[in-house]
A and B are shown apart, each in its own frame.
Chain A
């Protein structure tokens, strides 16, 4: 046992994820793989073993939808997928509207979905009492899988190729990490030790424990999900196979019912959040059933018994039908509901492949295997990158709080701008108190409380009247106020003051700093000191990896400024691409600086009131940055604008932020200054200018040409993605990013409706659109354009249909509205010549 076996990778955990990962690694040419599990095969006792095993094709996120589609295809190839169809039924009118929204969203991703009546439901599922429901969404492609069998086949295929050794009943005792390089060096187990530089943790609910052995964190928590199995159901006795009737998601009660052979399985997400600490999960030997099938707590399920009886009275009310199986099943939950994938930021070579559901398992296995092999998964999974978390988000307290609050939202109606109630006021900007006094309505991003708009601006509503584009329908009025649009108009008339404290500032310094930044960024980085560069980062295939600004503060000093949402992932990307010899270093200075934006026609006048430095157009050119003094505060002013107005981002030491805010606020009072929230900064301002956002328009699926962001020439220095980008420049793009205007928001009931993003774009005769690379057209960003009086949307259209003036449709809430292609490309709709910005 003292000899270490050398292997290419150790994969820990033989559930659906681990099995899928080793299969795809083997397929991609990896040899000498080892798969470990502390339980026996084929069912080692994790969440896969008791999963409800059904797959609905649509999720709220594009990434999850794509992973699900890929997983489904893999399950079909493995011969373990049975199509059954699935319903989501509505008991309330609020849910009906949600189903309409979901049906339209399904169309965006070309997934079959039909809205049907209770009578239709009764034909599909005769044991469902149609009087209890008002409407349903029907998904014909829903099915069930045998995930244990799938995992076994995948694992055995890898073994069959001679690429994989499997050690069951083997416990991991430790993971060794070289303290100098922070890289994995080996794994110690109860049946032998391994030498390796690659370890993948696919341990589901046990993942945090295993990660901790290496000094890394995987922020998930085990949480209970109750399910019971009821049978024998007389109606099912004559059906052949595992399932013959469609699955029912009774979403208003947070439950589902599915046939499983002769039984009806009833699952619930309605009960109180029952968190289980990973260290208290029983071992395989101690558990009565399995470690993730915990004893059933009847009281938590009782209300659901009644609701299930209400929906399927004869079937489930039969006295001869017994509850044959009932568990508190354990599943993994993360702070934001997305999986945790990728190399951990703390330890190199240690990969997290955790918090996956059955419906994404194989897809995630493939994507991570591709990521581990070539650095680039085919399906974009940036949303699930484990490096996205801040330290506070990794704490047990935060993970458990989010899981508790998020649990009952599993089938909930979740608004795209939905705010959490718990775990608020975690990160506060220095001007937080001043903002509160101004009636700020705070939304949380990356833990920061950011004003989305200010109630103190309410009088602006009277000033601007209908130009604020008021909304009457409830959904798009939720988490929104016409004050946002009023602030926008006031900013464009006078100036706006914006809290940008959530920015992440990363300083890259050292003799190799220029070389490193040159390698990572698309734009030319060898610019004069004091120049601000707006650039993207690409991946090796030329897809977007980041979109941000970089200030050259010195010959060997670059400050990268990026948004709070993606800051931590960007930090890892840059770190990973710095030279190993330490000749370029990265420092996270987010907590050292606060940033305030000042933009509008009167921005210069305002700033000139409080600084003696030259802020004239000739004296302070656009796209430059320099230190100036504002009311005794030494700040770094950067003349760029994400809202398309004259103005600056002003960086002050964090501890002086409150004073800077007050200084600028007072100075602006004579110049029509209003505090403006993120509603303006993040949406209205940039949409009118056609400014793209990473994560919305700019993703790994698209390139600079399609996004309309090419420059006349490409720098001669090499950078990541250059070859792919150059090739793309040579050919006609399959898609073109366009700005669309909503021509008539009037719905069939006379109300005006405003899409919020994600909706499908259709041709004038109602057909969905896909470009030459198979990508569907849907709204990537949407919002009001108050200065233009139009509701604006960005969407990639197939290049052949991307003509200015073209008339198309957008589908929202199961209705179609006319849209017009206002811009094919990146020309701003508002102030196309950028005169304001360059004033």
Chain B
């Protein structure tokens, strides 16, 4: 069972995001970097699949050279090999990203003479949130795809993907090889062990230079949405506030 999981390097932001003066970039001077929570879970799911079924996890990223840090983080929790598609271009959109990943997958499969039973993604990247790269890659590879997966079972030849939607559980059966995008909550990602971290330090990262076509979407500016600073009306303290709270609920029509 060979699994490829794709991650994206994003800054670890706090509550308020500080922008650079050009209003086009986040000020990352004092920020660390990570991958989005969905992708962390994708890496963990990939490792769990190979732990159950044998095989190896390859982690891949399209990003700046510093994204090697995120690849090593994945190696430290169990990925066996790492691939970097280096690019200095900013604002690579989902079409270009999907194309670069597709050609890397094709190349890796050709070089290894085997396909990846699963190509895995996070449901969306924490920053750009485009919700489409996994599906585009699946179409390009001609493989079935399920998104937002919260539970995955893999058997010989088939992946059963479940998720919840509006109170109902949806189940998809995907013939392998398939593409899956997962959501945080599918598992609880493990932390790297000290030996894992040290292995990651020594891991080799394979590099292919991607081709990146032009995008039709051009980002102009980023801005922080305004929010008025108001203060809550205090109904009371402790139990004494309950009568006022009940009146409020009545007024809102929440209790009849």
Contacts and interface: CB of A to CB of B under 8 A. Distances in A.
A322 B14 CA distance: 23
B198 A280 contact: no
Contact of B32 (A230, A280, A296): A296
A282 B16 CA distance: 10
Nearest to A289: B14
B194 A298 contact: no
A283 B16 CA distance: 9
* A281, A283, A288, A320 — most chain B CB neighbours (10 Å): A288
A316 B197 CA distance: 12
Contact of B194 (A285, A286, A295, A321): A321
Interface string B4-39: 000000001111111000000000011111000000
A474 interface: no
B69 A298 contact: yes
Given A288-B13, A288-B14, A322 B30 contact: no
B50 to A, nearest CB: 15
Contacts of A288: 12-14, 31-32
Contacts of A289: 14
B190 interface: yes
A285 B16 contact: yes
A280 B191 contact: no
A319 B193 contact: yes
A261 to B, nearest CB: 15
B18 A286 contact: yes
Interface string B183-221: 000000011111111100100000000000000000000
A298 B202 CA distance: 13
B197 A286 contact: no
A317 B197 contact: no
24 contacts: A280-B30, A282-B30, A285-B15, A286-B15, A286-B18, A286-B30, A287-B30, A288-B12, A288-B13, A288-B14, A288-B32, A296-B32, A302-B201, A308-B194, A309-B194, A309-B195, A316-B194, A317-B193, A317-B194, A319-B193, A322-B191, A322-B193, A323-B193, A324-B191
Contacts of A662: none
A323 B30 contact: no
A582 B12 CA distance: 57
A286 B191 contact: no
Contacts of B13: 286, 288
Nearest to B11: A288
Interface in A275-312: 280-289, 294-296, 298, 302, 305-306, 308-309
Interface in A313-369: 316-324
Contacts of B194: 230, 305, 308-309, 316-317, 321, 323
A306 B14 contact: no
Nearest to A325: B191
A434 B197 CA distance: 57
Contact of A295 (B12, B15, B190): B12
Contact of B193 (A281, A295, A306, A321): A321
B192 to A, nearest CB: 5
A284 B15 contact: yes
Interface residues of A, number: 29
A295 B31 CA distance: 6
Contacts of B191: 322-324
A285 B14 CA distance: 6
Closest 6 CB pairs of A and B: A295-B32, A322-B191, A285-B16, A285-B15, A288-B12, A287-B14
A284 B18 CA distance: 12
A99 B29 CA distance: 42
Given A295-B31, A298-B69, A286 B14 contact: yes
B185 to A, nearest CB: 19
Contacts of B18: 282, 286
Given A288-B12, A323-B192, A306 B30 contact: no
A474 B13 CA distance: 53
Contacts of A323: 191-194, 197
A296 B15 CA distance: 18
A308 B12 CA distance: 27
B202 to A, nearest CB: 10
A305 B196 CA distance: 11
Contacts of A320: 193
B252 to A, nearest CB: 28
Contact of B190 (A286, A294, A298, A322): A322
A835 B33 CA distance: 75
A302 B197 CA distance: 9
Contacts of A319: 193, 195-196
A321 B31 CA distance: 26
Interface in A374-389: none
A294 B198 CA distance: 22
A294 B196 contact: no
Given A298-B201, A309-B198, A323-B191, 14 more contacts: A230-B194, A281-B30, A283-B16, A284-B14, A285-B14, A288-B12, A288-B13, A294-B30, A295-B32, A306-B198, A317-B194, A318-B193, A319-B196, A322-B196
Contacts of B190: 322
Interface string B110-135: 00000000000000000000000000
A146 to B, nearest CB: 24
Nearest to A316: B194
Contacts of B201: 298, 302
Nearest to B16: A285
Interface in B159-198: 190-198
Contacts of A302: 198, 201
A149 to B, nearest CB: 22
Contacts of A318: 193
Nearest to B77: A322
Nearest to A317: B195
Contacts of A285: 14-16
A316 B191 CA distance: 13
Contacts of B31: 288, 295
B16 to A, nearest CB: 3
Nearest to B198: A305
A536 B29 CA distance: 53
A323 B14 CA distance: 21
Contacts of A308: 194
A286 B30 CA distance: 9
A283 B12 CA distance: 14
Contacts of B16: 283, 285-286
Interface in B61-107: 69
A33 to B, nearest CB: 23
Nearest to B196: A319
A324 B189 CA distance: 11
A793 B227 CA distance: 70
B52 to A, nearest CB: 17
A159 to B, nearest CB: 15
A308 B195 CA distance: 11
B51 to A, nearest CB: 12
